[in-house]
A and B are shown apart, each in its own frame.
Chain A
Amino acid sequence: MDTTPINYKRKLNIPWLFEMAWRDSRRNRSRLFLFVSSIIFGIAALVAIYSFGFNLKNDVDSQAATLIGADLAISDNKPIEASMQSLIDSLGDRRSEERNFASMIYFPKNKGTRLVQVRALKGDFPYYGSLETTPLQAGKDFRNGKKALVDQTLMLQFDAKVNDSIKVGKITFLIAGILNKAPGQSGIQAGIAPIVYIPLQYLPQTGLMQKGSRISYNFYYKFDKAVNMDKLVKKLDPRLEKAGMNYDTINIRKENTGRSFGDLTRFLSLVGFIALLLGCVGVASAIHIYVREKIASIAIMRCLGVKAYEAFLIYLIQIASIGLIGSIIGAALGSFVQHILPLVFKDFLPISISTDISWMAIGQGVVLGVIISILFALLPLIAIRNISPLNTLRISYEQVNLLRDPLRWFVYVMILGFIVVFTFLQLDSWLGSVFFTIGILIAFLILTLIAKLLMYLVKLFMQSSWSYLWRQGFANLYRPNNQTIILIVSIGLSTAFICTLFFIQSLLVKQVSISASGNQANMILFDIQTSQEKGVAALARQHHLPVLQQVPVVNTRIAKINGKTEADVKKDTTLRFSPHTFANEYRVTYRDSLTPTEKITDGEWVGHAPKLGDVPISVEDRFAKHNHLKVGDKIEFNVQGIPVSTKIASIRVVNWTKMQTNFLVVFPKGVLDDAPQFHVLLTRVPSKPASASFQQAAVKQFPNVSIIDLGLVLSVLDDLLDKLGDIIRFMAMFSIITGMVVLIASVRISKYQRLQESVLLRTMGASRKQILAITAIEYFFLGALSAATGILIALAGSWLLAKYSFEIPFNADLLPALLLFLAIAILTIVIGLFNSRGILNKPPLEILRRDV
């Protein structure tokens, strides 16, 4: 008898495990690749976004100077105080000065009018980069006469040519050139507020600088010798802050631009991550089926002496290797896709973006892909440890249950932990990442529950009287190894994503359209001087337009809250007020009554100020909540240099969705009546020609008055939402493609499951048509149920967003949703049938003989 003691601690033979993994993968490699193909598009999306982010960061760093155009910029929204003038004049070696304000302009050639952003400039600004103009020299030449640079969108809109003229206020300027791009300006900004440059020396003659006009005073400085700007602004900060002035340096702009685009790329990487998660669910589901098929092989290995963890490692090596290959392909695809991203983002970017290959992004994507494919594959893989060698014998008392391993809870925790950590790295907020993870979890749970409910209902309501084809097709939805859950989750989530975007966009646009309908105001005239108030109203009536509202507006700042200044709040962080509350300028009004869109929720409305004591004001509900203000709190306002002590008498809820002037703070009559102010007039124009004719007359008679035409706002909003939607849709496309790949993978995998059965049916005489019908019924219902679930979730999500986030009535446009439903259902059938063709086109014997 052999009495050699057994060394139970056998050394792990890693090369042999790799060899076995390689051998075992024979004839399965294309299937294994199909499993991980689900993660390719998720990785591609992330690598594309990461590469874009890295390039963006580098480009912002290298082009930051051209974003600001100077070493230092100082701005104020009121005329410079005399005490500050010497400082303003002493900085830098070269200086430029600019006044920036909204105004109407008039194209005499075709009598067109439009609200634009006028920039009246003196000096050689920009010192970095240039005003990009056509012709090229116009960017410099316009400063030498009554000449203007006009934004290219305006030129196109009004069919204007260089050397035509425009009227700004009372002065007519010659169009010296087309402004293609101003420093730091993006395409979308040009669309919303097109810019017109004029020389500063002609500004007084335009008559647009009136009291109460909202003008920004900007000063740009260039330092010829190297100056430490951070040190300089730190020194200047107390004085500038005291004077209520803002400043900007290349470094500050670099940080701010980097941060805002960083936020954007991080948000988009989360969208890409959702695609990756979808793919991973597909991987887990596919590996589960794969492991089931491998039970016999694993049992044989166990019989021959392979330990549980060795068997586990053999398959882990397979999945990790194929995950690595999938991730590398995804990363390569992502590096290609990143070339498209600057095109998708072009309207939002103030700088030109390079498309260099980012090895960092590729590395991150590959590591992420391998980790996440292993994590999700672990769920079915850990079950390998429990596969008994008994499965080699005929004994089947104990069913092999791949999902009952207690270690799976550890894997679930690892997956959730990974998602939280990954999202934290994107969002830099634990709370945000936990909410995101919970959100994802809830979405997955809802979809899984709906899928399970559907399977239960199909089982419950299926009648034995139905034809065999229908019964078989339906039964495939709940039979073992069905794909109902995985497809409803993956296709449902992508459909929900796309549909929610669509619903919200159409809701927002519709909301503005509704505002423009009925008897509501659709034109706002502002910057009306007190002396012009009656004249403008009279002009409106002359044009048979109703004066729906006339409201005075006073610019103020908050100086103290309950006796505490901004400095006190900064020092004492225990105070509930934010320092930002003091930094903002508030446009307030005064009146003796509430408007129909306002409702007092706390305190009492006071319409007339008492002769003595604090002025009783009304504060908007959300503003009060945000700033922790309550009835009885005292606020000291700085009304253009004059302190006004007030007390919150009431809190109001305001319906902001109505097209009218709404205010955060309303004063009673009798306090601000004589303060410097401007007026706003709301009217309703019945048609485009009526609008054009009224605008022409108003601009001619009151050149300083600005007009917002809601029709124009609507088209700009639609355009903006369209462009934003394009970006999100582009990213969501990765989820859709992933959903489709998961669908193809599931169908291909199930082909092996269904092969024997279909072949048996064919052997027993089922026609090609009958098998086709069974398959079509199954996939139609899978596609239809997935799409319907996704659309229902989108409806619920949009309703919640509309009600609680946008606070607008929910009214979904169902026709496009129906088209999406049909498209997904048909696509699912096509993919299902296309991938099942192998069963239909080959003789049964060939498949029966094949070792599956």
Chain B
Amino acid sequence: MADPVAVLGVGMHPWGKWGRSFVEYGVAAARAALADAGIEWKDVQFVAGGDTIRNGYPGYVAAATFAQALGWTGVDVTSTYGACATGAQAIDVARARILAGLCDVALVVGADTTPKGFFAPAGGDRPSDPDWLRFRLLGATNPIYFGLYARRRMEVFGATAEDFARVKVKNSRHGLANPNARYRKAVSLDEVMASPVVSDPLRLLDICATSDGGAAVVLTSMEFARRHAANPVTIAAVSTVTPCFPNTIIEMPNFSTDSAAAVAAPEVPFKDSIARRVYESAGVAPEDLDLAEVYDLSTALELDWYENIGIAKPGGAEKLLRDGETTLGGRIPVNASGGLACFGEAIPAQAISQLCELTWQLRGQAAGRQVEGARLGLAVNQGLFGHGSAVLAKR
């Protein structure tokens, strides 16, 4: 069991389609996190930046970009990329630096400016890049993969389009009071069902948008934190797992799964292994969770996550949702923040924003969406090309 590190400060720039430089969002989030922590920029000894691949060279060297914008201080930097899991990787690098005793105060920042519409591959002809080829040869957008999982759920578990819509209805209500959410409007079942089909069975309101936004956290050693806060939120464990061969579930951006002809599929499938890693690291069980933030790229995927993180048995997610257990006030609220349904995706900021939400929840500061008495929260997501991401926060 690894020692904890403290989450001394958190901050976000609101999600939206602002059309400004990602650096502005990152700097705003960083300044908010520093203020929340009650420390100065010059106190930061290490910056971990989550890269963005759609904003040119500054996006590939995000940590240095943010450090320069905040004012060079000679601070050490590392920039990381793991698709949607980018933020968790940045968090984990900062955490490891602190646990190794190499620094006491680290700033983690991720921000993105996104284009309108479907995510397209990065520019240029690259016929050896599977992310380019899946668009060229299949026309397989991200919602295509979400649609395959959703249809599979309907066929195997009897899920209905109304079940998927109920996830959106729930999350839209959760996000109403969240000042950082892009969409703050209650959506009805009928509105979801009346929205146009994008990738059958998924409709426009089942699929998350792409957003601009920025999120930052100040992580510190426990010793440093105790001098600044009485009872700080801590990170108990982080997961950055990859699949075990053979990975037999089709994943973005692949054309096929691994073959299980020679080696049997692993007992624990990849998506189940993501949260399991943090449970095992921290010695907790899914039953111990007070809330979870999961990556609802689509409404149907949120239901998959219930089972992947162990709060429902396979095929049990729809009942958990229908019984209101994952709604605020239920046994295990999921996406109290409003989730991607209310935020849209700002890739390198998203996993960091999940930790911001857990921190506000565990401090009792999540006004209008507070999970009462929350002590243990899980944030989980998955990035294409085999990136698992989970953060377990505790108070």
Whether chains A and B associate is no
Residues of B that sit less than 8 Å from A by CB: none
